[in-house]
Structure 1
Amino acid sequence: MNKEVDSMKLPNTKAFQDEFTRSLLDSPEEMEEGYYLFESDTGGYSMLWPKDAVTDGPPFYQRTQDSFEKIIFYDRNEKENYRESFSTTYSTYGESVIESNLGILSDSIGYNGKYETLETDKSRIYFATSEDTFEGITTYFFFGYISSKESQKGLEYVYSTECLDKSKSNCSFNIEQEVETALHYMKSVQFTTND
């Protein structure tokens, strides 16, 4: 995609109106309603990108050649009173060091429970949830590690959501719905098989 296009001609979504975020996305066509396709420049994977999620440059975006990529992106909606945050970390260690990867993930969230294992045709997802309350605001975390069954590629995925202002009446979450949303994101991750 021509990265220098006139932003007035682009979709009126936060992702395409933000210059840096737009540079990461290949097409203004939605892959499915509300989502674009993010195809990593590592050549290792692709995933869905919410149409109103944005990221800034480094340190929120980091890449080391084709073996490592970390992206922190978010969707903040004052009117609807929520903030969704995403953090993905791609590496080429995958299943070979799964216990270590899950340990690092658990430490980053402050989680000390077990992971549920889910299977798709081409990947294995280790998934868990937790919540944390800070200054009266509860943040719900849905996180996991997705490993390819066909290579040593893997992606740590953390999705979290919270109200911006808990005093407003529209501050509520359907946790089952949020779990479904998180798993939809994780199941959308596709690893390439060009090893």
Structure 2
Amino acid sequence: MKKIILLCFCLLLTLTGGCSMNTNEKNNTKDNKTEALKPKEMDPKDLPQVPAFQDEKTREYMVSTKEEEPGYYLLESRLKGFRMLFPEDAKYSKYLSSRDENEEIIAFDSYDKTKNKMLNAQIEYYQGTSFINNPETMLEQVRNENGYNGNFEKLEHADKDIYIAHKKNHFQNDKNKYNFSYRYFGYINSPEKKQAGIVFSFMFRCPNNRKSCTLDKDHLGDQVKKHVKLITFLQQTGEIK
């Protein structure tokens, strides 16, 4: 009798353990599937409650929900040409953005209401074109686009050369106290990735004249330099469908 009871008890443990294992396996499978989802495939309620993820068009570019630095997430171009840090409060600007087989322009806006500071940025990525690896040609293009006649500061960083300059612009016929902007612009050359490069522009301004605003030229310059230094060229190319 004791042997029968012991046998039944062992059988019960085996069945219970098997059920528990199956449940755990199901949970693990579910977690793995959740982790594998891209932000654009997830329910917005499960994403960070910031514009970069809550805006439908912007989250198509976001790599994951992992915060790379406080207030910044990782963005990847649709041509898979580069990755960069993207501000959590920024949104994709469809009217200034475009994409074809060898060129992609990503424009975005970021507004800090507390500091009354607006950022308008534009990243132009080129691939498969010989002129993009010619610094003289590209810098002349950047000069013409920004009405700039000065020199560029060259930053040699890891796998790329960065050329950067800045300019203070005043808005015509604007009598507001903050009727100016600082624009930082330049060109990124990748010696390691042939026929690929980036032209960038970051403009800072104070949109609300009734609120105080501080635009520190040196601080903003350091911020842009850090941002472009962290841009990473990717070896894989080809448009994401």
**With structure 2 as the length reference, what TM-score do the two structures score?**
0.74
> How high is the sequence identity, in percent, across the aligned residues?
32
Q: Is the 8 A contact 1:150 1:193 kept in 2?
A: no
Q: Is the 8 A contact 1:45 1:190 kept in 2?
A: yes
1:49 corresponds to 2:91: no
Please state whether the residue corresponding to 1:3 is helix, strand or coil: helix
Q: CA RMSD in A?
A: 1.8
Aligned residues: 192
Match of 2:52 in 1: 15
Q: Which moved more, 1:98-107 or 1:68-77?
A: 98-107
Question: Between Structure 1 and Structure 2, whose CA radius of gyration is higher?
Answer: 2
CA shift, 1:2, in A, is 5.0
Q: 2:96 aligns with which of 14, 38, 60?
A: 60
More helix by share: 2
Unaligned runs of 5+ in 1: none
Alignment of 1:29-48 (within 5 A): 29-48=66-85
1:148 corresponds to 2:194: no
- Look up the equivalent residue of 1:62 and give its one-letter code: S
Match of 2:34 in 1: none
Q: 2:180 aligns with which of 131, 138, 141?
A: 138
Match of 1:177 in 2: 219
Distance in 2, matches of 1:38 and 1:47, equals 5
Q: 2:133 aligns with which of 90, 96, 100?
A: 96
Distance in 2, matches of 1:193 and 1:21, equals 23
**With structure 1 as the length reference, what TM-score do the two structures score?**
0.90
Distance in 2, matches of 1:61 and 1:5, equals 24
Distance in 1, matches of 2:97 and 2:68, equals 22
Q: Is the 8 A contact 1:143 1:158 kept in 2?
A: yes
CA shift, 1:4, in A, is 4.1
Unaligned runs of 5+ in 2: 1-37
- Look up the equivalent residue of 1:184 and give its one-letter code: K
Distance in 1, matches of 2:93 and 2:214, equals 28
More strand by share: 1
